[in-house]
Structure 1
Amino acid sequence: MLRIAVQSKGRLFEETMALLEESDIKIPSSKRILLVQSTNFPVEILFLRDDDIPQSVACGVADVGIVGENEFVERNEDAVIIKRLGFSKCRLSLAIPKDIEYAGLEWFEGKKIATSYPGILKRFMAKNNIKSDVHVITGSVEIAPGIQLADAIFDIVSSGSTLVSNRLKEVEVVMKSEAVLIGNKELSQEKRDILDEILFRVDAVQAAEDKKYVLMNAPTDKLKEIIEALPGIKSPTVMPLAQDGWSSIHTVLDEKCFWEIIGKLKSLGAQGILVLPIEKMII
């Protein structure tokens, strides 16, 4: 049995549970239960505060955990990053009142900075030879300059709307963060085998993200030009149709370039273009 530590609430919780569901790891939806076992896979989910996950993994209370990279780096626990998961992306940035002119990092010399991430901030300032007064706040960091508690803040930024609403501007990005799968360094072989199967499923789910399966009919004499226009994973599948002079082409397209490619295909004579979603993709 592999124990996975997961954030108990919030956006990271929702995206983590969605990933497990897409990987066909069924977790009963029980509220106020600390530990829940999967009904179809040898894993159990331990629900914790995000800042408790790195320590729980490092000391073996949980075998692996899914947590924001920012929390993992801040806690500096003896665990390893196994995989970057690509969701819950954000950045840790320094921000100051928007009306203040900013000339560079030296502005922070001697300034009081409010943050919930003192470890990351102190290491960054030491690296850049800046001496500042770090003031630790556990919540609502963004209001600190407005109530004269601090000159600046160091906090998570996603869209930036919270900064704008508090009349702040982002001036330095210290690190970028996303959800990561972290693991204990002393996993048994049995637990590693379970983890490998989870990683295989997660890879298949993530490989299918933003991908479309496309089928089309095309004039056989245009096949070479059409295939050259396709940026698919590998060479597309081509099959002859019952009607002479026509072929069926099957391929996978990235959604971000989909409409541009479809336009080219139509101009080359492709017809009956069928677009299907992809749930899983084994590469």
Structure 2
Amino acid sequence: MSKLKIAIQKSGRLYEESLQLLKDCGIYVNNGKDQLKVSVDNFPLEIMYLRNSDIPQYLEDGVVDIAIVGENLLEEKYKKIEIVHKLGFSKCRVSLAVPKEVETDRLDYFQGKKIATSYPNTLKKFLQENNISAEIHIISGSVEIAPNIGLADGICDIVSSGSTLFKNGLRETVTLLSSEAVLAKTFTLSDEKKAFLEKLVFRIKAVLKAKNSKYILMNVPNDKIVVISETLPVLKSPTIIPLAEKGWSSIHSVIEEDTFWEVIDKLKDNGAQDILIIPIDKMVI
């Protein structure tokens, strides 16, 4: 039986989170020291650890079937690759930054200026779309130092917290694009491998849904059940269990992390008491 070949960054910000995602999906990887290719025993999957910048080309050529990679890299490389699912981690943005003493945030500051970057294709496309003519200096690493040594008037680079910019006397001005880790695939998958991919995506969705959801239990007066139920953004309907104390029931449901405190406030205002929140390991819907 053939196996689905997945590429993962062999080092760097995506490595640990990619492996953790696979582990959460029930796929256990026993890495030997310095192994660049590992076969998984409990799922038809073979993992290849590659340099981040090489992954898009390997995908386009069909050397690997799928990969966990940053959207920003796919945008930069312009490869014929399909994004299967966004993964919600390793979020960052590709942004322009200038020395902190520059007072304007306007894009036209860069008109006729020099910009240092590791993302020349992304930057060139953005500048053309906004009718900005600038000189692009391609740097493979340590882009932040360019303005300090007089090589450029600003930079274009990935930004997460902004701490690296701050340490180098720079500040972010314009965001070109937002990025996160994605599961991407080649266009040359066989029917057998498409079936394997569907199973993997099913597991990934269950894991990601659980991470963004909480199981909630609360005690509610019976005359408040209807209004409380209407407040809960449930999958279908909440579970309602009568309590030993007359006139009270326990309501069980699921709420999303993004709206957690907003929902909790409404529940308390509508009479919910003894609210208990439990993390969810997996969520299959």
Cross-structure match for 1:232: 234
Unaligned runs of 5+ in 1: none
What is the DSSP-based 3-state SS (H/G/I as helix, E as strand, rest coil) of the residue aligned with 2:144? helix
Which residue, 130, 138, 163 being the options, matches 1:136?
Answer: 138
2:22 paired with 1:16 = no
Cross-structure match for 1:209: 211
Distance 2:110 2:233 in 1: 48
User: 8 Å contact 1:28–1:39 — kept in the other structure?
Assistant: no
Q: How does 1:114-133 map to 2 (within 5 A)?
A: 114-133=116-135
What is the DSSP-based 3-state SS (H/G/I as helix, E as strand, rest coil) of the residue aligned with 2:240? strand
Cross-structure match for 1:36: 38
Q: 1:224 to 1:33 in 2, by over 3 A?
A: same
Which residue, 96, 99, 114 being the options, matches 2:98?
Answer: 96
What is the DSSP-based 3-state SS (H/G/I as helix, E as strand, rest coil) of the residue aligned with 2:234? coil
Question: Partner amino acid for 1:110?
Answer: G
Distance 2:32 2:57 in 1: 24
Q: How does 1:269-280 map to 2 (within 5 A)?
A: 269-280=271-282
TM-score normalised per structure 1: 0.93
Q: 1:120 to 1:255 in 2, by over 3 A?
A: closer
Q: 1:264 to 1:169 in 2, by over 3 A?
A: closer
- How many equivalent pairs are there? 283
Q: How far 1:268 sits from its partner (Å)?
A: 4.7
Distance 1:149 1:265 in 2: 57
TM-score normalised per structure 2: 0.93
CA RMSD of aligned residues (A): 1.8
Cross-structure match for 1:54: 56
Q: How far 1:137 sits from its partner (Å)?
A: 0.6
Counting aligned pairs with the same residue, the percent is: 53
Cross-structure match for 1:199: 201
Q: How far 1:78 sits from its partner (Å)?
A: 1.7
Q: How far 1:272 sits from its partner (Å)?
A: 4.4
Distance 2:93 2:233 in 1: 32
Unaligned runs of 5+ in 2: none
Deviates more, 1:262-271 or 1:122-131: 262-271
Distance 2:268 2:214 in 1: 17
Q: How does 1:138-153 map to 2 (within 5 A)?
A: 138-153=140-155
User: 8 Å contact 1:238–1:249 — kept in the other structure?
Assistant: yes
Deviates more, 1:177-186 or 1:226-235: 226-235
Which residue, 92, 103, 107 being the options, matches 2:109?
Answer: 107
User: 8 Å contact 1:92–1:154 — kept in the other structure?
Assistant: yes
User: 8 Å contact 1:38–1:44 — kept in the other structure?
Assistant: yes
Map Cα deviations across residues 136-169 of structure 1 (whole Å, 9 max, x no partner): 1110000000011111111011111111111112
Q: 1:51 to 1:273 in 2, by over 3 A?
A: same
Distance 2:54 2:5 in 1: 15
Which residue, 52, 65, 68 being the options, matches 2:67?
Answer: 65
Cross-structure match for 1:75: 77
Distance 1:62 1:138 in 2: 25
Map Cα deviations across residues 41-78 of structure 1 (whole Å, 9 max, x no partner): 00011000111000001101100111111111111112
2:222 paired with 1:223 = no
Question: Partner amino acid for 1:83?
Answer: H
Distance 2:223 2:237 in 1: 17
Map Cα deviations across residues 240-279 of structure 1 (whole Å, 9 max, x no partner): 3344433221111223544554455455554443322101
Q: 1:263 to 1:170 in 2, by over 3 A?
A: closer
Q: 1:218 to 1:74 in 2, by over 3 A?
A: same
Q: How far 1:232 sits from its partner (Å)?
A: 2.9
What is the DSSP-based 3-state SS (H/G/I as helix, E as strand, rest coil) of the residue aligned with 2:161? coil
